[in-house]
Structure 1
Amino acid sequence: MRANGSVPAQTTDSVPVWEQRFRAPRVSLPDWAEDAPDRALFVSNATGTYELYAWDRASGDQRQVTDRPNGTTDGVLTPDGEAIWWFDDTDGDEFGVWMRQPFHGGGGEGTADMPAAPGLAPSYPAGLAIGRDGTAVIGRSTDEDGTTIHVVRPGSAPVEIYRHRESAGVGDLSHDGTLIALEHTEHGDAMHSALRVVRPDGTTVAELDDTKGGTEELGLTVLGFAPVAGDTRLLIGHQRRGRWEPMIWDPVAGTETDLAIDLPGDVGAEWYPDGSALLIAHGFEARSDLWRFEPGTDAAPVRVETPAGSVSGATARPDGTVEYLWSSAAQPPVVRSTTGAVVLDPPGAKAPESVPVEDVWVDGPGGRIHALVQRPASPAQGPFPTVFEIHGGPTWHDSDEFASGPAAWVDHGYAVVRVNYRGSTGYGRAWTDALKHRVGLIELEDIAAVRQWAVESGLADAEKLVLAGGSWGGYLTLLGLGTQPDDWALGLAAVPVGDYVTAYHDEMEALKAMDRTLLGGTPEEVPERFEASSPLTYVDAVKAPVYISAGVNDPRCPIRQVENYVDRLKDRGALHEVYRYDAGHGSLVVEERIKQVRLELDFARRHLG
């Protein structure tokens, strides 16, 4: 960065800084084999496409595991580190099978990939757990069968142990392989799972369901069995005090151990490798940090020192050190260790820095709204043309972490505002659950409140406000352009929902369950709610130019419903452009991502000046 904090628009070789951020090699937090901790698996974009890589930490050797035109990011190491499982779909459609290859690859041609469970037909994935004896527990989801879970033993045909129309998934497999933890939503609320622990033959050991017996439905989630032979303790997350926090449940002994960790915000956890302590992941007001906590003692949590910003993932190693993936809005991501070392440093040019975020709190109709603001690094004080970059999910939240997309807008003189609207995680269960039944409209009320602040504070130019986002953020963009037509000068919607009814009928089964939860039923059961929440309902009111990008293989926001919305824009003669690309719900190809941002920047330049 320059001494005055500004970021140059271009380097001497005329490659824009914003493109350099996308192209800079990145790595994920390495996952390591439980019984062979020197064998690790990570994701990298080193070739220009995000793929899986094997890393022998003892020798330092690294090997690319997958090589597919549209990339690969879903992979798991077997406990002994001898093999890698990776999910093989078709061009990003998320529908496929698990493949398996040796950790060190194959001999001769190819990499010796083979189906990991030959008896199972393609499906959407619903969790995977692999045991020390080679047994695998595989969750599957299809439109025809709902969720099924199978136990696959080496050399044997898959055995189905679970089936239900509602969404479910594999949580974890105990160290000795005798217990399987499942998350399910048989009660019909896809936002709040219940837990069931079963034996490998499918018989039930114990149930835990916080959705029963009260006026509020509370969710549970599996965090992991204790990593010790003969230990039946299961670490879970619960919402009994209005936020996510950990608890230890022993389904065999029938005991629950309340940890009551006194930290504000959401608290997650995972076991240290010897089971003696928990690594606490704490998120509060768009930042996160780490703590060590020893259950069963009077000791308070001890801070694991990390820089200010966001920890996107962390793991405790057998020697007691902690490795974590860290970034901030200004600083690009890096995998660090509590030893002070950089754990995994990809070769090549580093990503240029960006500007830090400012925290803004705005009073809204449902309470105080937290927004993150980035201003152009220039002497100008505003008002700026401003992009409201709306996050997806909706059960997600924007954090103080590095993001190349918003940084590109800042480089071009825009302010960027990101709003953690009602529905976002990280601000308590009531905030996350608030959007039911008035889906989309509630989020836009919060965005409107922050928009008003941005204009009145002098940050934003009221004539140059851009509503933008991807996935759920793309949906809110189209809905906002129709329900708030005078508020926005431009709309940029990536992989959006445009026609909610058609999207429901075409999307993957797990998302159908989520929509039934959010809206209280199917389009046939509550047509008025789907109509009120669908951008297609308001398309005739849209005034601003609209840019839409969509993946033709997207199972989450399928292409047919996007085309329905586009056809209505065409019928009106509304100013719009559409970019369709051969991938699913976004792209794992770096140059494709750059192309999409470039097209958005150009669209804004042409229509905003």
Structure 2
Amino acid sequence: MGFGTIGAVTTHPCAPVPERLFDDEREQRWRSRFTAVRMSRPSWARDAPQRSVYVSNATGTFEVHVWDRTSDERRQVTDRRNGTTAAALPPGGEQVWWFADTDGDEFGHWVAQPWSDGPGAATVPAVPGAGDGYPAGLEIGRQRTAVGVSTDDGTTLLVHERGSGADARVVYRHTEDAGVGSLSEDETLLAISHSEHGDSRHPSLRVLDLDGGGVVGELHDGPGKGLAPLEFSPVAGDQRLLVSHERRGREELLIWEPGTGTVTELRIDLPGELVGGFYPDASALLVAHTHAARTRLFRYDLGTGALTELPVAPGCVGSAEVRDDGTVEYSSSSAATPSQIRRLRTDGTDDVLVTPPGERPPGSLPVRDVWTAGPGGDVHALVTEAPRSGATPAPAVFVLHGGPHAADEDRFDAVRATWVEAGFTVVEVNYRGSTGYGSAWRDAIEGRPGLTELADVAAVQDALVADGTVDPARCAVDGWSWGGYLALLAAGTQPGRWAAAVAGVPVADYVAAYADEMEQLRAFDRALFGGSPEDLPELYTEASPLTYVDAVRVPVLVLAGENDPRCPIRQIDNYLDALAARGDLAYEVSRFDAGHGSLVVSDQLDLIATEVDFVRRALG
């Protein structure tokens, strides 16, 4: 593959989009996993619970929809070229609020339109005077709204008196990262997270008095121990705040009464990590328990401490919430079974709450768990094995998750299913930096990101080679966002391990990425590395894929969003220009007119088809 120049601008070889991946019924099957109508779990207006909002791809682009549960009418609300996914309902359900950015760049403001209006309707700023920025939290009360706005200057948190006709007032501003957490039921208190101490990855808490001004309470657990405000009690007169903490090396729950300073840690005897929310009467918590890549639901009685597992459907729970009558609505799926939106009633009956129109997407194969001894402890991976042809292992693709503070779980994934359909064994590694395995595991990449994760990936690869699951000569590395960053870094630092590398919206030149990315991510990087590129130039250089571009020996595919605020295009161009300057390496690029990924289904189909086709050609 060659390259050329026009003036001083380098042109790069474009990756072709294959018309088909298969010649039989598999072609329809893999495409239908993307084109089948999907929807998020509907959330509802607090005082008008018959009105719900959700996101769906029903029109071919993920957009905001509403559902009137009384009439069962479902309607599309937004229709924008690059889609819309952030939406909320005020308590009365009289409006639909959604976040308006430009072409997927995530920079914009919240707008409101009447509940009855559809796509193209006139909107007004939902929070007058808030200004444009990256979103940093939203809490909509009956009388007040709290909103967070992040810009290059830092974070501003504002409160708007709804119906007053006045602009929102600033209640907090700082150059370091912060966010709106929760608004108390009487709307006099606002819980916020902040990182004035300089570590946005381990924030502290503050509760502000919105009537009298000033600070009601502070909660700070010290270095390396973050706190997150989850939810104030929904009961009038009850000012308890549910908080996520990591005092014992994992995410657990406590209740804080900021007015008195009382802190009650909830000793819930479950392995793994916990998050939760109040039941409507605040007598209990709905607890989501994540352990070994699966999430299940429990009810924790605050009076007795009794813990009861809820008999939800088999699979991994995606999200859940409790209705006023005690019904738990939740989403659930597994690697083999597509997602469903279900409800668990108080009498124990469990059924499907709502079904998207059309046929359900085809299922796929289950994952199996693999635990491997790694340099920092046992590494958990999920493996989906493609059928073999004789005794030879199928080619393998190591799909590395983004984040880095995220994890691969036993959930349905159309991308995973497509690789398996194409005859690849898929390996997903929850490397150090992943969530769900304790604070030490998540934070083990501090001071040396990138290379730390790849040491875990190498350990898993070695184990799967040793037991015959994968062929060392036919392994590709693939990922998006942080996973794309790791894929490029693997191509340069582990050239003997991979036969091809695919990087979607990656960090490719870390110094340039830091200069161009949104301030929230600059704050994250400073916390992760221990400083900025000016403070630690050698460390950023060591972690940057651009440093190792001359060591790359395998074909590379880069997929990039033109409007990406997280992994901006300039730093990707720097990496591609360096590849081109070598003149001896096969590489291709696929650019799309969106941000950090695309919400358009046809784009998603083209991107995954491009990836599969590229790896097939690279592996021969």
TM-score of the two chains, using structure 2 as the length reference: 0.94
Q: Which residue of 1 aligns with 2:598?
A: 587
Q: 1:227 aligns with which of 224, 230, 234?
A: 234
Distance 1:218 1:14, change over 3 A: closer
Q: Which residue of 1 aligns with 2:248?
A: 241
SS in structure 1 at match of 2:360: coil
SS in structure 2 at match of 1:161: strand
Q: Which residue of 1 aligns with 2:216?
A: 205
**Partners in 1 of 2:388 and 2:317 — Cα distance?**
29
Q: 1:416 aligns with which of 408, 420, 426?
A: 426
**Partners in 2 of 1:76 and 1:26 — Cα distance?**
19
Contact 2:26 2:421 in 1 (8 A): no
Q: Which residue of 2 aligns with 1:98?
A: 110
Please tell me the residue identity of whatever aligns with 1:16: Q
Q: Does 1:179 align with 2:185?
A: no
Contact 2:509 2:544 in 1 (8 A): yes
Q: Does 1:333 align with 2:339?
A: yes
SS in structure 2 at match of 1:352: coil
Please tell me the residue identity of whatever aligns with 2:40: S
**Partners in 1 of 2:276 and 2:128 — Cα distance?**
34
SS in structure 2 at match of 1:523: coil
Distance 1:577 1:11, change over 3 A: closer
| Greater CA drift, 394-403 or 51-60 | 51-60
**Partners in 2 of 1:175 and 1:83 — Cα distance?**
20
Q: Which residue of 1 aligns with 2:132?
A: 122
**Partners in 1 of 2:69 and 2:280 — Cα distance?**
18
Contact 1:27 1:344 in 2 (8 A): no
Contact 1:92 1:554 in 2 (8 A): yes
**Partners in 2 of 1:470 and 1:382 — Cα distance?**
29
Q: 1:138 aligns with which of 125, 142, 147?
A: 147
Q: Which residue of 1 aligns with 2:160?
A: 152
Contact 1:371 1:418 in 2 (8 A): yes
Distance 1:441 1:548, change over 3 A: same
**Partners in 2 of 1:203 and 1:342 — Cα distance?**
47
Q: 1:192 aligns with which of 192, 202, 225?
A: 202
Q: Which residue of 2 aligns with 1:479?
A: 489
**Partners in 1 of 2:242 and 2:513 — Cα distance?**
36
Q: Deviations over 1:108-130 (max 9, x none)?
A: x9423222123232100100111
**Structure 2 stretches lacking a partner, 5+ long:** 1-20
Contact 1:361 1:368 in 2 (8 A): yes
SS in structure 2 at match of 1:452: helix
Q: Deviations over 1:317-347 (max 9, x none)?
A: 1111111110000000010111322111001
Please tell me the residue identity of whatever aligns with 2:312: T
Contact 1:224 1:270 in 2 (8 A): yes
Q: 1:322 aligns with which of 324, 328, 337?
A: 328
Shift of 1:538: 0.4
Q: 2:36 aligns with which of 7, 24, 27?
A: 24
Shift of 1:14: 7.1
Contact 2:331 2:341 in 1 (8 A): yes
Q: Does 1:514 align with 2:520?
A: no
Q: Which residue of 2 aligns with 1:282?
A: 289
| Greater CA drift, 340-349 or 370-379 | 370-379
Q: Which residue of 1 aligns with 2:543?
A: 533
CA RMSD of aligned residues (A): 1.4
Q: Deviations over 1:219-269 (max 9, x none)?
A: 100110001111100011000111101111111122111211101000111
**Partners in 1 of 2:352 and 2:392 — Cα distance?**
38
Contact 2:294 2:410 in 1 (8 A): yes
Q: Deviations over 1:135-181 (max 9, x none)?
A: 211100000x2000111123111211111111000001111110000
Q: Which residue of 2 aligns with 1:85?
A: 97
**Partners in 1 of 2:334 and 2:551 — Cα distance?**
39
Q: 1:250 aligns with which of 236, 240, 257?
A: 257
Contact 2:110 2:127 in 1 (8 A): yes
Q: Which residue of 2 aligns with 1:75?
A: 87
Distance 1:14 1:477, change over 3 A: closer
Contact 1:10 1:17 in 2 (8 A): no
**Partners in 2 of 1:352 and 1:424 — Cα distance?**
29
**Partners in 2 of 1:91 and 1:440 — Cα distance?**
30
Q: Which residue of 2 aligns with 1:312?
A: 318
Q: Percent same amino acid among aligned pairs?
A: 54
**Partners in 1 of 2:259 and 2:47 — Cα distance?**
25
**Partners in 2 of 1:500 and 1:483 — Cα distance?**
15
Matches within 5 A, 1:290-309: 290-298=297-305, 300-309=306-315
SS in structure 2 at match of 1:36: coil
Contact 2:130 2:149 in 1 (8 A): no
**Partners in 2 of 1:115 and 1:388 — Cα distance?**
44
Q: Which residue of 2 aligns with 1:498?
A: 508
Shift of 1:200: 1.9
TM-score of the two chains, using structure 1 as the length reference: 0.95
SS in structure 2 at match of 1:448: helix
Distance 1:12 1:452, change over 3 A: closer
Q: Does 1:562 align with 2:572?
A: yes
**Partners in 2 of 1:12 and 1:563 — Cα distance?**
38
**Partners in 2 of 1:255 and 1:223 — Cα distance?**
17
Distance 1:341 1:11, change over 3 A: farther
Shift of 1:296: 2.4
Please tell me the residue identity of whatever aligns with 1:307: A
**Partners in 2 of 1:304 and 1:256 — Cα distance?**
27
SS in structure 2 at match of 1:29: coil
**Partners in 1 of 2:180 and 2:317 — Cα distance?**
25
Q: Deviations over 1:477-534 (max 9, x none)?
A: 0001000011100000000000000000000000000100111111111001000100
Q: How many residues align?
A: 592
Q: Which residue of 2 aligns with 1:6?
A: none
